[in-house]
Structure 1
Amino acid sequence: MELIIGGAYQGKLDYLLSLTGYSKDKVLDVSNIELPIDANLLLKELADRPILYQFHLLIKRLLEQDLDPYPLLDQLIHQQSEGKELFIICNEIGNGIVPMLPSDRYYRETLGRILCELAKESKRVHRVILGIGTIIKED
Structure 2
Amino acid sequence: MTLVKFNNGLKNNARGPFFNDVFDSILNDSFLGDKLVARIPAVNISETENEFQVELAVPGLKKEDLKISLDKNVLTVSSEKKTENVEEGKKFSKREYSYNSFSRSFTLPESADHSKIEADYTDGILTLTITKKEEAKFQSREIAVK
| Shared fold (TM-score, shorter chain, > 0.5) | no
Normalising by the residue count of structure 1, what TM-score does the alignment of the two structures yield?
0.23
* Structure holding more helix per residue: 1
Specify which structure has the bigger relative contact order, considering alpha-carbon pairs within 8 angstroms and separated by 6 or more residues.
1
Larger Rg: 2
- Structure number with the higher strand fraction is 2
